[in-house]
Amino acid sequence: MHEIVVQQLDQKDRVAVASQPVIALQPVPIVRYYLFWLALAGFTSCLPSKPAPKGDKSRDNDLAFRPTDLSFKRPSPAAKSGSDTGVAPSVGVHFHPPASRPDSAPLNQPFIDHFDAATLSSDWRPTSTVWRIENGRLCGRGAHNHPVWLQRRIPKNARITFTAESDSVDGDLKVEIWGDGQSEAKTVSYTNATSYLFILGGWKNHFHVLARIDEHAPDRLERRVSEAATDPRDRPVLPGVKYRFAIERTDGRTVRWTLDGAEMAKLTDPMPLAGQGHEYLGFNNWEVRACFDDLNIVPLPD
């Protein structure tokens, strides 16, 4: 077709056409085509081929895994913010907590806090801005494992009691004891704790857990939650119900947790968390609004 058109041009038109600059066509569609398939291959290679196996910490946050199989001991928390990226949620990450109080002697007499003041006292060091006093209780919503730490040193042997209440059917009540007084989650999966963790109604009210350092550890002590359970210790957390926690260590190595007078778990630790780096208490949670009150710490003899 192009040759026919050129042949029909007169001599003058041919000269005009020949004088026009020649524009080389670039193979843009071909380049885009290869770039598209290259990017697609790279993307698919990053997707997990199957859910993380039990005990594999490196894949806690795989999108392929969801805690539908409750026999899996380490369900990944279901958070809308941050959980899909493997980066800790923004709450608390850019918050600069007040400096720790100068070291003092461990408590040698009872410490009581009913949270009657209008604001959080200097006895407490929050690692997130969500923690505040509300109606005479210490409350926080969506802390995402950024606890509020009591800046009073707890002796190796002590009895700690307090009340806790959730406003959600998801449960989610947590306290850390014998920790370092400043730790907070660095990623979505809280594996860098320094304490014993006591979790009531964790993982959307599927487990009650006592763990050492790592709340996802395969050797954690857990009770599987069921609404049909005949044992009240295995029932889910109910919103608006005040639960009384009691946690104690009397022999330097055996940690006991009771709830409303019933023993939830007992952990005998051959390498007990005690002394420097393990002397503080922190209240914590993940997503819901959790409130704590009537804290009482009683030192016990060594």
Give the right CATH number for 81-299 from 2.60.120.200, 3.40.50.1010, 2.30.29.30, 2.40.30.10. 2.60.120.200
Report which of residues 301 and 55 the model is more confident about.
301
Domain ranges of the chain: 81-299
* pLDDT-wise least confident of 16-25, 130-139, 192-201, 261-270: 16-25
Strands (E), the chain: 111-113, 124-126, 132-134, 137-141, 148-150, 158-166, 173-179, 196-201, 207-212, 221-224, 243-249, 254-259, 262-268, 280-284, 289-299
Residue 141: how many other CB atoms lie within 10 Å: 19
Q: Please determine, for residue 48, whether its predicted confidence score (pLDDT) is greater than 80.
A: no
163-198 pLDDT, tens digit per residue, is 999 999 999 999 999 999 999 999 888 889 999 999
Query: What pLDDT does residue 78 have?
Result: 37
The DSSP call for residue 59 is: G
pLDDT recorded at residue 52: 36
Question: Is the pLDDT score of 272 beyond 50?
Answer: yes
Tell me what pLDDT residue 28 has.
47
pLDDT bin (cut points 50, 70, 90) of residue 97 is low
pLDDT for position 137: 98
Question: What pTM value is reported for the model?
Answer: 0.69
> For residue 19, is pLDDT > 80?
no
Mean pLDDT of 44-64: 38
Dihedral of CA 175/178/183/185: which sign?
A: negative
